[in-house]
């Protein structure tokens, strides 16, 4: 699988472990983040990963900032991106299986390298379960994205 990884300065503490784990699992990694501690703006890197998904350059993405919150908010503004923070393995795989999550957001100041590796494994080994209820729910998310409106029924 092709996975785009993006991070800001606060994501550096776990970035190397994330990329190493992906490569050890046999995935192709695009590093779209920074390698310096100089402060940068996280939406720029959420945009890079989102664009990689939109243009078919990656099937999934992983974004890392200090808490995971900022990159998650920014990524979810992009068409076709379904991003979520997951700092537990259940959410990391269930988000893919039930909700079609395609971007995992992590907090470099929240978790360490060992947990990051476990989350990466759970995320990339998960597959969307094409059951009618999950398809219906993702279709509703896509409709909300396309119309910019809440669904009332």
Q: What is the pLDDT of residues 38-62, one digit of tens each?
A: 999 999 999 999 999 999 999 999 9
Residue 153 pLDDT class (50, 70, 90 cuts): low
Catalytically annotated residues: 65, 98
| The token pair that represents 115 in the structure block | 């947990």
Residue 148 is predicted with a pLDDT of 87
Domains of the chain: 2-147 (3.40.1400.10)
* Contact assessment for residue 49 and residue 82, using Cβ atoms and an 8 Å cutoff: no
Q: What is the pLDDT of residues 85-143, one digit of tens each?
A: 999 999 999 999 999 999 999 999 999 999 999 999 999 999 999 999 999 999 999 99
Residue 150 pLDDT class (50, 70, 90 cuts): confident
Helices (H) and strands (E) in the chain, counts: 6, 5
Alpha-carbon span 12 to 34, nearest angstrom: 8
Contacts of 102 (CB under 8 A, 6+ apart): 53, 59, 60, 61, 80, 81, 82, 83, 96
Residue 152 pLDDT class (50, 70, 90 cuts): confident
* Contact assessment for residue 108 and residue 65, using Cβ atoms and an 8 Å cutoff: yes
| The token pair that represents 34 in the structure block | 């920074």
Please give the model's pTM, rounded to 2 decimal places: 0.96
Instruction: Answer with the residue of higher pLDDT: 42 or 149.
Output: 42
């Amino acid at each position: 699988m092709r996975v785009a990884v993006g991070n800001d300065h606060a994501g550096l503490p776990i970035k190397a472990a994330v990329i190493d784990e992906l490569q050890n699992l046999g995935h192709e990694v695009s590093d779209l983040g920074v390698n310096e501690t100089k402060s940068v703006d996280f939406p720029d890197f959420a945009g890079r990963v989102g664009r990689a998904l939109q243009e078919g350059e990656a099937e999934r993405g992983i974004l890392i900032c200090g808490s995971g919150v900022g990159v998650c908010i920014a990524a979810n503004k992009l068409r076709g991106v379904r991003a979520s923070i997951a700092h537990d393995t259940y959410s990391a795989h269930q988000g893919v299986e039930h909700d079609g999550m395609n971007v995992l957001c992590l907090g470099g100041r929240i978790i360490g390298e060992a947990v990051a590796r476990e989350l990466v494994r759970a995320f990339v080994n998960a597959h969307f379960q094409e059951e009618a209820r999950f398809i219906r729910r993702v279709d509703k998310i896509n409709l909300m994205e396309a119309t910019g409106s809440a669904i009332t029924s």
